Structure 1
Amino acid sequence: MNPRKRMVAGRRTKVIPLSLDATFFFERAVQSLDRYHYDKALKYFRRAVEYEPDNPVNHCNMAGILSEMGRYEESNDILNSVLERIDPGMTECHYYLANNYANMELFEAAEASLVTYLENDPDGQFLDEADELLDLLVYELKRPTKLSTIKAKESLYEHDKARELLEAGRFSEAVRLLEDILVQKPDFLAARNNLGLAYYYMGLFDKSVQTIGEVLKAEPGNLHALCNLAIFYQHVNRREDLASLLGLLKKTIPIHPEHVFKLGTTMGIVGEHREAYVHFTRLLRKGELSAEPSLHHFAAVASANIGRFDEAERHWLQARRLDASPAVADFYLGKLAKVRQGEASPPTQYHYHMPFDEQFREWEKHPERISETLKKDPLVRSSFFWALRHGDRRTKMQVIQALGLVADEEVIEALKAFLVDAEEEDDLKRVAVLVLRSIGVEDALAVVFDGRPLMLDARRRSARLPVWDSDWQGVLEQAMERMAGRYDVVQQHDMMTLWVDYLSRVYPDVPKLRNAAGWAAALEYWTAKMHRRSITYAELMDVYGASQGSISRYAGRIDEACGIREKLKLTNRAFQDRI
């Protein structure tokens, strides 16, 4: 054999064969979209369809590209083919048809497709958009549209109310309403999807994943559910599950702006910034949602993470111009300047507010702003509830105290649920009990301390304190630390209740608490007396390192405000009478 031919043959054995399949052509199509080469993208999508002719997603992607290119008739041919041959249950295709017909000014055909969509789609993903299109058709046809029913509007009023509760950050109320809706209509997938979100916002991860799984079992291609699940997996670091799910999401090219926004945001949150950049740029290029400062923020974050710093700056400047309160945009512009200088990594915060730790630093300077922010911003509220469940110890301590400034039913329920979670630290639960008492919760509290369920009775009624001061907390922590192991849970709870009672009675004339150890010792002194335990000032001096004069003086002040000595006399007298 010729040596030259042997060398060539040897080279051939090292050639890696190119795998031409639907995934290969899909990826080429996406790359072409990234470069705005629609003709090439269309060609590659056609090849993907050739390799997977029974996959409706490939067909819908191709229809979506044709629609964006203004080739509405070809788009309609594909959508009709999906409905007739591949998946008659894809009712959203009727909505896409209606949009295409409206763009072609074939208003009668648009009306027919829209009516079919409304009368057959159970989930109502495009109900708001369908209402707008219906108004246009009524105007163009100069007559009302006849609708026998709107399938998705069964239970829709309650569902709309639940969505409003979610947007307002009233998650537990939304959960109750959504659960009631699903008892009546278990196949209402949009309600089940929102229930999964509500669980997630409350930090109930396992329930949220289970609920979203139920949606996907009924409809494997539900984009909202897939995106929600991807974010859930990201938060708990389930990398293999996330990777598998992302493989599917990367193949999805949504048609409707709401879906583009949802998918783009999801891709950004899970760290797929280049994918997110493509989706956000697509929205801005078409003018969709371009007046929303949050969209420019999302585009800026994606741009910064793929090295397009000039674009990131332009987007944050636009967000600043559009937002009446430019603090968020200013923060990220400052962050970008540090990124350019190599002093910081690009921000990955796709929610349009400052990072959690940064907000706390700001609130420490201006504590009066916490309550207003928590009441007005559901995203911040959800981040607090999530941190209460999944943050580190320091963050949980901050969150518990901050939630006390809001003191609505949502907060009270969250703190009560925290008390019975066997996985949470007992010290944090004691602070939660204190906060609940300080905001006026007077009923018995169920709590799990040291793995044992207990009921803590409200022994005293306390006036509500407006803001919990760090000096008050310092006294409480010293007393809790010294009493731990020597007093049981109920006795420690009574100490906390006594401290809140004293502060409530003397507020706003609370004395300066320079000697925290002395005040803590005074609290232990009266707690021991209330439980008929022998205690001396000398013992307290050894435990707390405070002088006898200080302990005696502070014990006197507490007694003067709360009348403990007189109450103990009455209790002893009643005890003697019973004997």
Structure 2
Amino acid sequence: MNGYQSGSNGLHNIIPIEMNANFFFDRAVKSLDRYQYDKALKYFRKAVEYEPDNPVNHCNMAGILSETGDYEGSNDVLQHILDKVDSSMTECYFYMANNYANMELFEEAEKALVTYLEEDSSGQFMDEAEELMELLHYELNRPAKVNRIKSREGMVEHERARELLEEGKFAQAVKLLEEIVGDYPDFLAARNNLALAYYYMGRFAKAKQTIEEVLEQEPGNLHGLCNLAIFFQHEGNNDQRNRLVEMLVVTVPFHQEHVFKLATTMGILGKHEAAYSHFRRLLKDEEFSSDPSLYHYTAVAACNSGQYESAANYWRHAKKLDPGSVIPDFYLAQLQHRKKTGTMVMKVSYHYHLPFEEQFKRWEHDGEVMTEEVKHNPLIRSSFFWALRHGDPHIKLQVIRTLELIADDEVQHALQSFLQEPGEDADLKDAARLVLQQLESKRSRTQDREAGVKGKEVLPDWHPTWQEVVDKASQTMDKRSDHFWKRELETLWSEFLSKLYPDIPNIRNTSGWAAALEYMTAKMRGRAYTYEEVALRYGISSSTVRRYARQIDQVCGNKDQSDDNFRPFTENI
């Protein structure tokens, strides 16, 4: 019997073959799998005949010609694509550069490669292009003249913006990232970082909107999804947060950068076991295995998951890698204390620095060390700005006073933004206003010196009696005032002497001047001391305190917190 049963005309069971571009494309691919290049080329030519406007078929044909050694024919096809089919197929320039190089036409290869680098926005063949560039440099004995690399436009600026973020300079980072996103709307990494910068500044609605813009362009963007989950948690939107967490917790990224992002996000969201698993993956990579902070993160994730012995091991390893750090020792001591006292739960922050309370204890007697650490350690600096937004009230007060010692534009912006928060404590806002006033006063004195106005720098050697006033005040204030008050007192005394120079009075009554300085500094801090209270502590009359305080006030301006000096700040609220 025949292989099929015919009907009345013997043809009704025959399946017709549709001769189209897809048919010939499939034939070409099968021929390539069998290394039958001649057949593959023939089939690709037929596919081009059926779909002459499809650049992919043309590219495939050019690829076969290149494989068979017909580099000139391949370039003819590639040039035809650019001229007649699709001028946006910038990868054709890269293919042409390779063909020219194989023909040892290195000048032409360089020209095509430079065009690729300057016109291609995707950067699909960047690694290969760099290798070819090195070859051409060697063959031509000179570097290629590339005016720009389009696929990397904004990369340098973006790296600078990332540095600003890590340093806690959020306002500057926002300004730069907004410019990058404006110039390169598809630069999703910059848009993600812009969202984070908004978030750190407390501009939560803007942060969320920016992340939504990322996910509109790329719904599976891992950084965007992680950030959005954190934003949902901040809003208290538990339903949306939980749906995202369910998806993220089963995600296993391939790239190490994504692993780190997911690990830190899981930690922030309280999924410490998932965070622990991802951090351990990172430690297996030689690139990360020497980073003490990563061992700290892994230890924290283990500790917060109840795996205290593992946490101790990771902190010991962090100590070996960073022997000068007090952080591993602090947490190892905490673990030991927990073991002795039988404390059941120990929750730890992922930040690679001591808790704020512990930091302030260490800095209490050494303000210079604190100033240097806060200024130059980007992790501590950024965490201070974060604590100003999210810390407990007593932590916020300590942070506000500490920020005065940093005294830069970022601090001023952070404190001004803090004043605009409607729910913040009034006393904390008063403290922030006072610090802003001090910063403005210091800036004015600096401008005066630059303009030639006499200041501290033109004073003669510091006179012993001037120092005696400061010492007397410090000793008397010792049990009632902190390090920051004393610094303000010294600043006020220096300002007073600088503005009077060279007509500085003869400082005979050390106690009187010291008492007046304490009184004026207290007013700057919003403390309602009376002349009688201060006079009693220094063993002098209240009229003496009043007389010297009036002299300081006349020279340095009214330091009362109801003073007009606060208007530039409150007008912005």
TM-score (norm 2): 0.58
Asked if residue 302 in structure 1 is aligned to residue 301 in structure 2, the reply is yes
The whole-number CA distance in structure 1 between the counterparts of 2:511 and 2:377 is: 35
Cα distance, 1:177 vs structure 2? 0.9
Matches within 5 A, 1:324-403: 324-341=323-340, 342-343=342-343, 345-403=345-403
Cα distance, 1:197 vs structure 2? 1.5
Q: Is the 8 A contact 1:502 1:558 kept in 2?
A: no
The whole-number CA distance in structure 1 between the counterparts of 2:324 and 2:169 is: 24
- CA distance 1:121–1:313, change in 2 (3 Å): farther
- CA distance 1:462–1:339, change in 2 (3 Å): farther
Q: Is the 8 A contact 1:463 1:501 kept in 2?
A: no
Q: Is the 8 A contact 2:169 2:410 kept in 1?
A: yes
Cα distance, 1:290 vs structure 2? 0.6
Q: Could you say what secondary structure the match of 2:406 adopts?
A: coil
Partner residue in 2 for 1:287? 286
Cα distance, 1:463 vs structure 2? 7.4
Deviations 1:46-70 (A, max 9, x none): xxxxxxxxxxxxxxxxxxxxxxxxx
Indicate the larger mover: 340-349 or 163-172: 340-349
Q: What code does the residue aligned with 2:356 have?
A: F
Deviations 1:228-263 (A, max 9, x none): 233344455443332121112113111011111111
Partner residue in 2 for 1:179? 178
Indicate the larger mover: 221-230 or 232-241: 232-241
Q: Could you say what secondary structure the match of 2:384 adopts?
A: helix
Q: Could you say what secondary structure the match of 2:364 adopts?
A: helix
Partner residue in 1 for 2:196? 197
What 5-or-longer segments of structure 1 have no aligned partner? 1-111, 445-460, 477-496, 529-536, 568-579
- CA distance 1:166–1:554, change in 2 (3 Å): same
What 5-or-longer segments of structure 2 have no aligned partner? 1-112, 445-453, 458-469, 483-487, 499-506, 559-573
Partner residue in 2 for 1:457? none
Partner residue in 2 for 1:241? 240
Matches within 5 A, 1:15-26: none
Q: Is the 8 A contact 1:257 1:288 kept in 2?
A: no
**Corresponding residue pairs, total:** 399
- CA distance 1:320–1:521, change in 2 (3 Å): closer
- CA distance 1:355–1:522, change in 2 (3 Å): closer
Deviations 1:191-214 (A, max 9, x none): 111111212233333332222222
The whole-number CA distance in structure 2 between the counterparts of 1:259 and 1:566 is: 56
- CA distance 1:546–1:318, change in 2 (3 Å): closer
Aligned sequence identity (%): 42
Partner residue in 2 for 1:413? 413
The whole-number CA distance in structure 2 between the counterparts of 1:272 and 1:552 is: 65
Partner residue in 1 for 2:545? 554
Q: Is the 8 A contact 2:535 2:545 kept in 1?
A: no
Q: Is the 8 A contact 1:387 1:396 kept in 2?
A: yes
- CA distance 1:513–1:201, change in 2 (3 Å): farther
Q: Could you say what secondary structure the match of 1:172 adopts?
A: helix
- CA distance 1:516–1:340, change in 2 (3 Å): farther
Cα distance, 1:387 vs structure 2? 2.0
Partner residue in 1 for 2:315? 316
Q: Is the 8 A contact 1:201 1:383 kept in 2?
A: no
The whole-number CA distance in structure 1 between the counterparts of 2:230 and 2:282 is: 21
Deviations 1:26-62 (A, max 9, x none): xxxxxxxxxxxxxxxxxxxxxxxxxxxxxxxxxxxxx
Partner residue in 1 for 2:270? 271
The whole-number CA distance in structure 2 between the counterparts of 1:395 and 1:318 is: 30
Deviations 1:66-99 (A, max 9, x none): xxxxxxxxxxxxxxxxxxxxxxxxxxxxxxxxxx
Deviations 1:522-549 (A, max 9, x none): 969xx99xxxxxxxx9x97699999996
Deviations 1:546-576 (A, max 9, x none): 9996432221222344446999xxxxxxxxx
- CA distance 1:352–1:566, change in 2 (3 Å): closer
Partner residue in 1 for 2:227? 228
Partner residue in 1 for 2:161? 162
- CA distance 1:503–1:554, change in 2 (3 Å): farther
Q: Could you say what secondary structure the match of 1:404 adopts?
A: helix
Cα distance, 1:421 vs structure 2? 3.8
Q: What code does the residue aligned with 2:277 have?
A: V
The whole-number CA distance in structure 2 between the counterparts of 1:414 and 1:374 is: 15
| Larger radius of gyration between Structure 1 and Structure 2 | 2
Matches within 5 A, 1:20-169: 121=122, 152-169=151-168
Partner residue in 1 for 2:212? 213
- CA distance 1:462–1:243, change in 2 (3 Å): farther
Q: Could you say what secondary structure the match of 2:405 adopts?
A: coil
- CA distance 1:243–1:398, change in 2 (3 Å): same
The whole-number CA distance in structure 2 between the counterparts of 1:472 and 1:406 is: 24
Deviations 1:298-319 (A, max 9, x none): 1112222333333222211111
Q: Could you say what secondary structure the match of 2:324 adopts?
A: coil
The whole-number CA distance in structure 2 between the counterparts of 1:303 and 1:498 is: 47
The whole-number CA distance in structure 2 between the counterparts of 1:192 and 1:177 is: 11
